[in-house]
Chains A and B, each alone.
Chain A
Amino acid sequence: MVQKRSEKNMQISLAHGSGGNATRELINEIFQKHFSNEILNQMEDSAVLTVPTGKIAFTTDSFVVQPLFFKGGDIGKLAVCGTVNDLLMQGAVPKYLPAGFILEEGLLLDDLNKIVISMKEAATQANVQIVTGDTKVVEGHGGIYINTSGLGFIEDSVYISSKSVKPGDAVIVSGNLGNHHACILSHRMKIENNIYSDCAPLTDMVRNLIAGGIKIRSMRDITRGGLATVLNEIADSCGHHINLIDTQIPVDREVQAFSDILGLDPLYMGNEGKFTVIVDGSDADRAIEILRKSKYGANAVIVGTVESCQSNGETNGESNDEINQTSGETNQAPGGINQASGGINQAPGGINQASGGTNQAPGVTLTTKLGGKRIIDILYGEGLPRIC
C-alpha cells in the first residue's frame, strides 16, 4: 500500500505511470481515496452523467504554477477553483470536473497527497464532484501539472454576455486586487511578507447574485492580465466605454506597497478568487449588499460605470473626423479603430489629455485622485520587475 510504505521521502517513479500495479496503488490510495464519489467509483473508462435538458457550460484549463505550494493555497486548490470560477462566470451551476495529472519523476508522494486533498476540499466547498481522471508520469524534477475541465448547468432564465453591457451599468469588483500575483511573485523572489493568495471558489457570491435576481450583464474572473485587461475585453465586446474611479479600486496596503516597489500595477495583476461583475445601474447597491454578505465578498465595491461612447458636451471635432475617416462607422461601433479617444487628440504630442466630459470610444479610463484621466490599456509584455 502506497500510504503505508510512504516514508516522508517516497517519490513518484516511472513505474507509477506503467499502468501496472504501482499505477493501481497510486489511484486507489490517493486519487480514489480522496475524490471518492458514486460516479468516479464505477472506475469505468468514462464517467456517465445524467444531465438536465437545456444549456450546459463546458470549459478546460491547465495549471502549471510554481511554486506548487504557496501562502493561501496550492496547485490543487487552484486547479479546482480556476475551472469552477470559469463555469460560474457564465452563470452556470458547476457540477462535474475531470482531472488530468502529469507527474514528474521525483514528485514526493506526500506532496501529491496534500495536493489531492486540497483539490477535494475545494471541490466540496464549490459543490462539485471530480468524476473521472487520468495520470501520466514523465521524466523530470518532481513537478506536477494538472488539467481540469468543468461541466455546469445553466438555468434557462440566466443570460450573461458582455455584449449586453449598456451605458449606465455599474462595474463591481468582488474584493481586493493583486493578492495571488503578489503572493506567487513573493515566493519566487523569496521576499518575506504576509501576502496570501486569494485562491477561492466564487460560488457563494455568484449564486447569491443570481438567486437575488440581480440583473447581471457580464461576469469575468480577474485572472492573468488583471482587471484592466478584463474590462478592455468587455468594452471591446459591448462597444461602450468604461470609466473607473481610482480611489475606489480596492487594494491591500501590503500588496500596494509590494507592487510599488517592483513597479507593478494592481490593475494588471492576476487573482484567483476575484471577479468583476457588471450589473444594471439600478441593481448596483443591492448587488454590493448581497456580495458583502457572501463568502469572500466582504470588500466588494463599485469601481466604475459604463458610459456611452457618443461625445457628450465638449465634442471634439478633430477626433470625430479621424474616427469617421478611418472607420466610416459611427462612434458606437465596437472594435479597435474607434479607440482613438476624444480627449487624446486634443493636444499635439499630448496624449492622455482625455479630460472631463468628452467621451470616448470603447475602452477603459480611470479618473485619478486629482481629477486627471488615465487610459487603461490591456497588459503588454510580462510585467518584469524594474531596475530602480
Chain B
Amino acid sequence: MITLQEMMDKLKYYNGEPVQFMEVCGTHTNSIFKHGIPGMLSKNIKLISGPGCPVCVTSGNYIDRAAEISMKENTVLYTFGDMIKVPGYNTSLSAAKAKGGRVEIMYSPFDVLNLAIANPSTTFVIAAVGFETTTPIYALLLDKMIKNDIHNIHFLTALKTIVPALEWICGSNPNIDGFIGPGHVSAILGYDIYKKACSKCSIPMAVAGFEAEEIIAAIYDLLIQSERKTSDVHNLYASVVTSKGNPKAISITDKYFQAESASWRGLGSIEGSGLFLRNEYSEYDEDSRSIGVDEKQDQGCLCGEVIIGKVTPDECPWFANECTPSTPHGPCMVSIEGTCGIWFRNGAKKICK
C-alpha cells in the first residue's frame, strides 16, 4: 500500500521523461489550482487543460442565434449564468439584454417549468448547453413537459459528448501522455466507455474525484502507467463512478436525443460529438440543427488551441493584455470552468508583461 506522502514525493522528485497529462474537465482545472497542485509537481510533469468546459466549446454562431431569439416578441431566453458574457461573433447575451432582449439566468432548467405553465402565451427558449452531466436534466424536463402537455418550452441545443472529442484530441495533439478522466461525466457514463478510445490512442486514463488527494492519486497512476507504457482506464473515484454509469440517465437521454456531428468552437465539426433532439420531438427544438458549423473563426483568440492542450493560456498574445475576465475576447476567459479565466484568476497575469 502506498501512502499519500510517497505519491507526493514521487511526483515532486520525478526526473524521468517529461510527461503531459490532460485534465479533461474544467472542474478538475479549478480544483488543481485551488489545491496548488502544479507547485507540488516535478517540472517534468505538466498538466494541460482539456475541452471539458461546455461554455468554451459552444460555437459563436450559437450565441448569436440565442441573442437573436431573445429579441423576438413573446419570447424569453433562459440560460446558465456563465453563458451571459461569452462573446458570439456579432453579439453576446448580455449585449442583447442591454438592448431589450429578454435573457434570464436559470439555476436549473426546471425553474422554467412553472413559468411556462403560468404564461402559456410566452415561448420559453432554454439555451441547452452542456455535456452528459447536464443533458439528462433536459431530457427529464422534456419528459415532464410531454406528460403535462406543455408546449411553450423550446430547446436551443448545443449539447456535447466527451468521448468523440477525446478521440479527436488524440489525433490532433500527439503529446498527451494521460487523461485525468472527468469525475462527473463518468458518474453518468461509467468508465468502460473510455476503454476503446484509450487503447486506440495508447493513452492511459485515471478517473478522479476533485479533492487534492484524489487528483494526486490520479496523476501518480498516470505517471506509473506512462512509465510502464500501459493505456488502461483506472477508476479512482469508485465512491461515485461505476463501470456502466447511471443507466436511468443514459436511457432517458437516449430516448429523446441522438448523436450527430456537432460544431466545437475553435475546433470545427467533430463527428458524432453532439446530441440533438430526435426528429419525433422536433416541435420542442428551436431549429438547433440550422445553426451549423462555424464559418467564422475567432481572429487571434487561441481558445481552440488551449482546449486541446496545444498551447497554454499565457502563450496567447491577448492573454491578460486585452483579454481579461472583465473584457473577454474568447469563451475560455469567461466561464468559471474556462482555462484562461482560471489561469488569470489564479495569478498568471502577474507573469505577463
Report how far A113 CA is from B204 CA in the complex, Å.
66
- CB neighbours (8 Å) of B82 from chain A are 384-387
A344 contacts which of B55, B324, B341, B351 (Cβ < 8 Å)? B351
Number of A-B contacts (CB under 8 A): 138
B81 contacts which of A326, A352, A385 (Cβ < 8 Å)? A385
Q: Within the complex, what minimum Cβ distance (angstroms) separates A29 from chain B?
A: 38
Is A340 part of the binding interface, using a Cβ–Cβ cutoff of 8 Å? yes
The answer to whether B133 touches A388, judged by C-beta atoms less than 8 angstroms apart, is yes
Residue-by-residue, is B314-340 near A (CB-CB < 8 Å gives 1, otherwise 0)?
Answer: 110000000011100000000111000
The answer to whether A374 touches B36, judged by C-beta atoms less than 8 angstroms apart, is yes
Q: Within the complex, what minimum Cβ distance (angstroms) separates B82 from chain A?
A: 5
Q: Within the complex, what minimum Cβ distance (angstroms) separates A222 from chain B?
A: 19
Q: A368-B36, A372-B212 are in contact. Are A347 and B43 (CB under 8 A)?
A: yes
- CB neighbours (8 Å) of A351 from chain B are 38, 314, 343, 346-348, 351
The answer to whether B55 touches A370, judged by C-beta atoms less than 8 angstroms apart, is no
The answer to whether B212 touches A387, judged by C-beta atoms less than 8 angstroms apart, is no
The answer to whether B134 touches A370, judged by C-beta atoms less than 8 angstroms apart, is no
Q: A368-B36, A373-B39, A380-B325 are in contact. Are A341 and B347 (CB under 8 A)?
A: yes
The answer to whether B36 touches A373, judged by C-beta atoms less than 8 angstroms apart, is yes
Residue of B nearest to A367 (CB): B36
Residue-by-residue, is A336-361 near B (CB-CB < 8 Å gives 1, otherwise 0)?
Answer: 00011101111101111111000001
Q: A344-B351, A386-B335, A387-B134 are in contact. Are A349 and B39 (CB under 8 A)?
A: no
Question: Of B27-35, B256-264, B278-286, B288-296, which stretch is located at the interface?
Answer: B27-35
Contact-residue size bin, chain A (C-beta under 8 Å from the other chain): 35 or more
Is A369 part of the binding interface, using a Cβ–Cβ cutoff of 8 Å? yes
Is B179 part of the binding interface, using a Cβ–Cβ cutoff of 8 Å? no
Report how far A388 CA is from B40 CA in the complex, Å.
27
Q: A349-B314, A353-B39, A372-B35 are in contact. Are A384 and B326 (CB under 8 A)?
A: no
Residue of A nearest to B351 (CB): A344
Q: Within the complex, what minimum Cβ distance (angstroms) separates B350 from chain A?
A: 4
The answer to whether B46 touches A368, judged by C-beta atoms less than 8 angstroms apart, is no
Q: A353-B39, A372-B39 are in contact. Are A384 and B351 (CB under 8 A)?
A: no
The answer to whether B35 touches A388, judged by C-beta atoms less than 8 angstroms apart, is no
- CB neighbours (8 Å) of A326 from chain B are 353
Q: A347-B43, A352-B39, A355-B40 are in contact. Are A377 and B346 (CB under 8 A)?
A: yes
Residue of B nearest to A377 (CB): B347
The answer to whether A388 touches B346, judged by C-beta atoms less than 8 angstroms apart, is no
The answer to whether B335 touches A352, judged by C-beta atoms less than 8 angstroms apart, is no
- CB neighbours (8 Å) of A343 from chain B are 39
Is B154 part of the binding interface, using a Cβ–Cβ cutoff of 8 Å? no
A370 contacts which of B131, B216, B341 (Cβ < 8 Å)? B216
Is B181 part of the binding interface, using a Cβ–Cβ cutoff of 8 Å? no
| 12 pairs of residues in contact across A and B, judged by CB atoms under 8 Å | A346-B43, A351-B314, A351-B351, A354-B39, A366-B36, A369-B35, A370-B4, A375-B350, A386-B81, A387-B54, A387-B55, A388-B27
